[in-house]
Amino acid sequence: MPELPEVEVCRQGIEPHVLKKIVDKVIVRNRQMRWPVSEDINELQGQEIVAVERRAKYLLLKTAKGTLLLHLGMSGTIRVIDEAFPLKKHDHFDLVLTTGKALRLNDPRRFGAILWLKGDVSSHPLLRALGPEPLTDNFPQGYLYEKSRNKTVPIKTFLMNNHVVVGVGNIYANESLFQAGIRPTTPAGKISRKRYDALTLIVKDVLAKAIKQGGTTLKDFTQSDGKPGYFAQELQVYGRGGEACVVCETTLKEIKQGGRATVYCPKCQAR
């Protein structure tokens, strides 16, 4: 599933092609997505897209009349193409602009979302309970420490909770905890303020570097296949279970937490 950096690069990629552009028409080829696509989405026709934003892993295309919310689910991709570009299997949705370009959503598994929202989008059930964005001032040092008091869940589970902070998915939680020297199984409430403050800065750095790498990798979004993917990064632990630690050469251990792969160094990430 695409994580925050992949979705942010997607936002950055499509923004130049849709911002301040007028919607010519809306084409829905399959309304049975994660939630049925409402007929009200046709209200987008004739609207100018005044902002292209991201909240967690949701893309928000704002107009004066409402907001188009897009989510890529587990397998979705977005491409900016010419309106007449031949259809592929699972091309379920086109947002056609008066420029002749179209924003096209392809989603084989149909776990993605295409929603038309009115009013204050922050109050929508999908968004209102989300934690702060990690790359903003709303995620300062001290925040994780205060939120973690009396919590017995493992720190990796705590860090991946979108009600605590959004966008720290499995890959980036593994990498951040390794760099912070924190074992993923440690109870969240047992970690000191000093270590949480270091972890906060590391999370910000890991995500920012991933976004920067993604922008470099994709370059021109219209020339990519629209697939966010995971960028060509030097991952230090994720996907490397059984291999040698890049720091101490100890064999990395892989376990399952909440059905997700967790990889850590038994020496560098002491209890």
DSSP 252: P
Tokens encoding 209: 């570097």
Q: What share of the chain is helix, strand, coil (3-state, %, to 5)?
A: 30, 25, 50
DSSP 39: G
Spatial CA neighbour of 175 closest among 240, 228, 130, 131: 240
Active site residues: 2-3, 57, 260
Tokens encoding 77: 């991709």
C-alpha span between 267 and 262 (Å, rounded): 15
Q: What φ, ψ does residue 187 adopt, rounded to 5°?
A: -55, 135
Tokens encoding 148: 């973690």
**To the nearest 10°, the Cα dihedral for 131, 135, 138, 141?**
100
Tokens encoding 75: 């397998």
Contacts of 261 (CB under 8 A, 6+ apart): 170, 174, 238, 239, 241, 254
In DSSP terms, 257 is beta-bridged to 260
C-alpha span between 174 and 47 (Å, rounded): 42
Q: Is 158 helix (H, G, I), strand (E, B) or coil?
A: helix
Distances (CA, A) of 205 to 36, 102, 264: 38, 34, 19
